[in-house]
């Protein structure tokens, strides 16, 4: 079950592509974009990562940090980030604890076969640590721009 807007975002600490730990609690005072994706070096995940990377400076200008999260190990993230020249961090959740806490883990179907896996989804967390918006089933193309637009819209109302 996907997390819902208004809820307190579950805290976590996960290693990035270089092995450095990042904790949600350390981002208090900033907007946080968590985009959950199935697998490094796949076409859809590469498209999504490239688009978030292209808009990285605009997210930073809106006082937001972007994290991509998948079950892939740190070493895989390092290769993927280097290959795409990413300027944001990819976090490794090999045990899927954070994926489950945010509702980004569940039943999927491929070629008629049902299995458990990462549900491509995104959560926007406000500077106080509450879930501000959720995208439960994402198509990679154009998604980063939609998140940025929502962030700008919420950021303006948040400042009032």
Whether 5 is in a domain gets the answer no
Whether 8 is in a domain gets the answer no
Whether 117 is in a domain gets the answer yes
Give the 3-state secondary structure of residue 56: helix
What CATH number is given to the structural domain containing 84?
3.40.30.10
Domains in the chain: how many in total? 1
Instruction: State the catalytic residue, choosing from 14, 24, 45, 90.
Output: 45
Whether 19 is in a domain gets the answer no
Using alpha carbons, select from 17, 6, 47, 3 the residue that is nearest to residue 129. Answer: 6
Residue 45 is a catalytic residue: yes
Per-residue pLDDT at 159 exceeds 70: no
Whether 6 is in a domain gets the answer no
Residues in contact with 85: Cβ distance below 8 Å, sequence separation at least 6, in sequence order: 53
Whether 11 is in a domain gets the answer no
pTM score, whole prediction: 0.94
Whether 24 is in a domain gets the answer no
Residue 53 — pLDDT band, cuts 50, 70, 90? very high
Range of 144's domain?
29-159
Place of tokens 């990042």: 22
Check the CA dihedral 79-54-121-124 and report its sign: positive
Query: Region 91-108: what's the mean pLDDT?
Result: 96
Query: Region 8-32: what's the mean pLDDT?
Result: 97
Whether 58 is in a domain gets the answer yes
Per-residue pLDDT at 153 exceeds 90: yes
């Amino acid at each position: 079950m996907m997390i819902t807007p208004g809820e307190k975002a579950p805290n976590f600490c996960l290693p990035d592509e270089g092995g450095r730990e990042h904790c949600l609690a350390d981002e208090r005072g900033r907007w946080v974009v968590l985009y959950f994706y199935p697998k490094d070096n796949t076409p859809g995940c590469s498209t999504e990562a490239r688009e978030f990377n292209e808009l990285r400076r605009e997210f930073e200008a809106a006082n937001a940090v972007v994290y991509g999260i998948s079950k892939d190990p740190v070493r895989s993230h390092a290769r993927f980030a280097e290959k795409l020249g990413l300027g944001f961090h990819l976090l490794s959740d090999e045990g899927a604890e954070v994926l489950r806490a945010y509702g980004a883990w569940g039943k999927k179907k491929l070629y008629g076969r049902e299995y458990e896996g990462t549900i491509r989804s995104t959560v926007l967390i406000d500077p106080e640590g509450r879930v501000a918006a959720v995208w439960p089933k994402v198509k990679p193309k154009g998604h980063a721009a939609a998140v940025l637009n929502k962030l700008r819209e919420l950021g303006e109302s948040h400042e009032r």
